[in-house]
Amino acid sequence: MECTACDHLWYQTGLPLEKTDQAAAAAIITDETAVPLAKPWWTQGRGLRAAALAGAAMVLAVAVAPVLVARNDTDAQALPPMSLQNQASASLRRTIQTAIPNGGLQSLIMPVDGDLASIPQDPKNPLTPEKVTLGMMLFHDPSLGTAGKGDTTEQWSCASCHHAAAGFKSGVIQGIGEGGSGFGNKGEARAKLAGYLEEHLDVQPVTSPAVLNGSFQNVVLWNGQLGNSTHHNTNANTDMAADRLDLPVVAANAKQLGGLETQVIVGGTVHRLPANRDQIVAKHPVYGQLFDAAFGPSDATPIEDVSHAIAAFERTILANKAPFQEWLRGDETAMTLQQLRGASVFFGKGQCAQCHQGPGLSSAVDAGEEDVFFAVGFGDMDMNPMVGVVPEKVRLGRGAVTGRATDNYKFKIPQLYNLADANVFGHGGTFQSLRAVVDYKNAAIAQSGVPIAQLDRRFRPLGLTDLDKQDLVAFLEQALYDPDLDRYVPSTLPTGACAVNADIQSRLDLGCEGPDLQKLARHVLQNP
């Protein structure tokens, strides 16, 4: 006699049951209120049922008392002596240890807030609370946007394209610094300011990478061109030749700083934000005390002071309150059964951890170049409407940095937390949902014209079922979601400016204006 209750319980937990457990499983499916799930076991096919029935006998030492299988994950009642939640957690731990034998669960845990010493950092830029506080202000302050090409000023900041509402990405495919207008709820309403010349816009031909969890990788940007620290150096064997890289990139890398520190130096020029302490204090004396507290009296490194402060803040932006992080720290109830199943797919059948590792599920801390850059055939930004064009060196990705043909079309692996905040995925923004990305990885058919020989050996069909994909997306969208990223946004800025953007529409969207000024601002917008 077949054990239908075993199959039903397997669907709930993702755990295999032997036929010999059928009496115990039947004891669990006893209450008259218990109902089959929306997609019951018998629709899954013989192969899936066989996998459920053929696993090792490991889970139902709980048959001594009839217990209810709930209608959904959140209603599940405890099973003595081991609940379904605990069983699924135990199974997931084993799966993670198998997937990451050298680091296991510990390699995935982020430092908690305030534990600066445990955050990866450049020895030339040790983290301090004063430095982090200053950096948070500078990162969000549009008052620093004074080097524009057009007729606007003091209206954009680092946060214009890397803000908390979108998981520290941009809420649109092509982020806009100078020349942008509006914000919406999560940055999705950011658009070109009416009448602004396109050649004056600050836009890039790739999507804005997430700053979130950036401390766990030592180079930045999609091609990894920034970062040359002697402490941990993905670019150690890369010839930073001026014939391939822009001179500001070569000069900044020559300072041998971490990726985040190097990026702020280059970004100050690229994004028209003065990365110089003396300039900032001269225009906004209120910042003087904050710089003094972080670095002491003014010294001979005004550019490094700014880059070090902003990078120090960026290193502390961690999604350490996500349910998966709480589970890793020992809270068995932090994830639902569906999220636990999805995590098992991620680290097991889905083989996601072959590429996504480390606390940010990007790459392992201090990973080698072969585990940081991958060619998986994502399309470029010109598959969407965009401003400008995609240069050939951008299409080549890592290959344009190293000059090695074998690196062509490789891009840096992104972190995976708080992706539900913005429907922009891939270096070209060619996916608008996580489910679309999962479907793509499952099929493993290149979206772009990348030659098959260039695609990563790990990019291959996965054979995930629809249930697998539903569970995996639940894990990605829900269990990897920190609900409190606003703790990284200052309530006020030293200059009194509106944090993130300061154009009229953004000030309205962000709630920076009182009722009278809102009315006036709307009048100005309607009557330019």
Q: Is the pLDDT of residue 456 over 90?
A: yes
CB 499 within 8 Å of CB 490: yes
Mean pLDDT of 65-87: 53
What are the tokens at 129? Answer: 């609370």
Which structure tokens are listed for 429?
């923004």
Above 90 in pLDDT, residue 39?
no
What six digits make up the tokens of 153? 């000023």
Task: Examine the pLDDT at 425 and tell me if it is beyond 70.
Answer: yes
Where are any strands of DSSP class E within 185-294? 191-192
Task: Average the pLDDT over 277-283 and give the result.
Answer: 93
Query: Which residue is associated with the tokens 């010349």?
Result: 197
Q: Does 447 or 72 have the greater pLDDT score?
A: 447
pLDDT exceeds 90 at position 66: no
User: Of 425, 426, 423, nearest to 411 (Cα)?
Assistant: 426
What is the pLDDT at residue 521? 53
Among the listed residues 454, 449, 378, the one whose alpha carbon sits nearest the alpha carbon of residue 413: 378
Phi, psi (deg, nearest 5) at residue 34: -70, 135
What is the arithmetic mean of pLDDT over 158-168?
A: 98
3-7, 71-75, 274-278: least confident range: 3-7
Q: Which of 245, 242, 200 is nearest to 223 (CA)?
A: 245
- Per-residue pLDDT of 288-303, as tens digits, reads 999 999 999 877 778 8
Instruction: Return the number of other C-beta atoms located less than 10 Å from residue 10's C-beta.
Output: 23
pLDDT tens figures, 42-58: 333 434 333 433 333 33
Measured between its terminal Cα atoms, the distance across the chain in Å is 78
Output the pLDDT for position 166. 98
User: How many percent of the chain have pLDDT more than 90?
Assistant: 73
Sorted by sequence, the CB contacts under 8 Å of residue 120 that are 6+ apart come out as 215, 216, 218, 232, 315, 365
Please tell me the pTM assigned to this model: 0.84
Candidate from 2-11, 118-127, 166-175, 507-516 with smallest mean pLDDT: 2-11
Q: Where are the beta strands (DSSP E) in 282-440?
A: 373-374, 411-412
Question: Mean pLDDT for the chain?
Answer: 85
Q: What's residue 34's pLDDT?
A: 32
Average pLDDT of the residues in 4-31: 39
CA dist 98 and 93 (Å) reads 9
User: Which pLDDT does position 232 carry in this prediction?
Assistant: 67
Confidence (pLDDT) at 122: 94
**Banded model confidence at residue 229, pLDDT cuts 50, 70, 90:** confident
**Each residue of 120-134: pLDDT tens digit?**
999 999 999 999 999
- How far is residue 29's CA from residue 453's CA, in Å, rounded to a whole number? 51
CA atoms within 13 A on the CB side of 216: 29
Collapsed DSSP state (helix, strand, coil) of residue 237: coil
Local confidence band at 68 (pLDDT 50, 70, 90 cut-offs): very low
Residue 396 or 12, more confident: 396
For 256-274, write each residue's pLDDT tens digit. 999 999 999 999 999 999 8
- In tens, the pLDDT along 404-419 reads 999 999 999 999 999 9
What pLDDT is stored for residue 336 in this prediction?
Answer: 97
For residue 26, pLDDT over 70 is answered with no
Please name the residue that has the structure tokens 């020992």.
Answer: 330
pLDDT band (50, 70, 90) for residue 246 = confident
